[in-house]
Structure 1
């Protein structure tokens, strides 16, 4: 066995490790550190005795206190539901107008609707309800079917083009590829673009206007501001669902995109749908 090496300067025994002629001193750990380490061991043992800690084959040790985080969460949820019960019952038995007239109840409905929106609606409309191509922005003033609370409720409750609900919102834009010639579709698109921007060829605007009045005004209106009875979008503003370029408009005229929204009433119930309607109305686009 090799003799132990002692550092000549400090008089401390070394560990035997050496790097480039530098030896590591074998100094003991500070007392406060050692005592803290021992205290953590005692604490861990005590915790294992008092709380559930040691995993078993099908369960875990219960601990002398019998504490359960699941039971605590269940108790908190039960307490929250009990606190909300009065407002939930009021919403269930009140009309949308009555809820909107009660500031405290309206605030509660908006909060509940915001939570339901994040779980059920954000996947399509976005977490901030700003939408995306093909999915409406719920923060603006552009409404396909109306922005009053009752109209929003109807849309949420029964959906849009949803099979299985007789009261669902239904609108159908035909494929104009079967009605108009390609050049006529381009002319119509040029006119629609001219309502809010600059078309690529100004000479197509006038013939496009005539084509629009003959083929599109019955739904979108002579002024192109839409018709909520048919779910026909306003084409005279700068808000677009499927794109505002001439190419996008031509594509929509040739092969219309018809979005589908499920009917949420059977899934969420009347109370939650009311809260959703009031929340969406509060986003800034309500009427």
Structure 2
């Protein structure tokens, strides 16, 4: 192949190299490539002059613009601390009703409370507060000690069967394991308890068991759960007539509960969190419940 031959299809000159009849074209580099190479080279030079760049010795070239990310971050942190101090002081001194009536403070409660709840509570109660097996639904179910924000805050502070000397104490007896009630009687009690919330309808087949279970309930359970089985807030005993069940509503689960007893536990968060954080959490949980109620409730 002759050097300088022009390819008839592309119009480019050939290099004189040929492999198996394939001729190599002497194709020039596209001008756009040169353009970007020059542009990015100029950009790199300008950036290196204006911004912090080349290290030397124990320091570095700080750039003509004097940009310092460390100073920028510190400034933003100072601004954040200043802003936080303003609303923290208000939440600390104002009562729950005043905070709930203030849209600006409640916006802070929802944002900050969401983070606090996710970091400290969601592992047990779920990210939306709907609960898990063994951990109550605090977004919708009746609160064991009461649902006023002040009461919720106190429960968070002292915990349940926790490490605080002021902790709330709640424990259900192991009626079967301790020999208080025999197995056949426990089965009757389970049938009655399930009938309280409509889980088991009264029929000819189970009428005798329900009646016997009602007598067992009066003799062993009303002191905590009340004559109407709706629970007692001063003892943290749950309502047995609704559709919320902490451990489950199946016959086997309820039997296990009656036979072995229950002793739930919640950390005494007052030993870990500040009073302001606990107040925010209480308001956040109260707001969760209000939103859930406004959406129509449900389990």
Unaligned stretches of 5+ residues in structure 2: 294-299
Is residue 2:235 matched to residue 1:230? yes
Contiguous gaps of at least 5 residues in structure 1: none
Match of 2:269 in 1: 264
How far is the alpha carbon of 1:98 from its aligned partner? 3.7
Over 3 Å counting, the alpha-carbon distance change for 1:9 and 1:101 in structure 2 is: closer
User: Within 5 Å, which residues of 2 pair with 1:213-224?
Assistant: 213-224=218-229
Q: Deviations over 1:74-93 (max 9, x none)?
A: 32222122123222112222
Residues of 1 paired with 2:16 and 2:61: CA distance?
45
Aligned length: 283
Does residue 156 (structure 1) correspond to residue 153 (structure 2)? The answer is no
CA distance in 1, matches of 2:114, 2:264: 23
Alignment partners' CA distance in 2, 1:238 and 1:268: 33
1:130 aligns with 2:130: yes
Aligned to 2:248: 243
TM-score normalised by length of structure 2: 0.81
Q: How does 1:32-51 map to 2 (within 5 A)?
A: 32-51=32-51
Q: CA deviation at 1:22?
A: 7.3
Give the 3 Å change call, closer, same or farther, for CA 259–63 of structure 1 in structure 2.
farther
In 2, Cα distance between the equivalents of 1:126 and 1:98?
28
Range 138-147 or range 41-50, more displaced: 41-50
Q: Deviations over 1:3-38 (max 9, x none)?
A: 8997453243379798x9877756334322431233
Q: Is the 8 A contact 1:199 1:246 kept in 2?
A: no
Whole-Å separation in 2 of the counterparts to 1:140 and 1:72: 44
CA contact (8 A) 1:160 1:169 kept: yes
Query: What displacement does 1:247 show?
Result: 1.0
Tell me which residue corresponds to 1:187.
188
2:172–2:261 Cα contact (<8 Å) kept: yes
CA distance in structure 1 between the aligned counterparts of 2:260 and 2:55, rounded to whole angstroms? 60
Query: What RMSD in Å do the two structures reach over aligned CA positions?
Result: 3.3
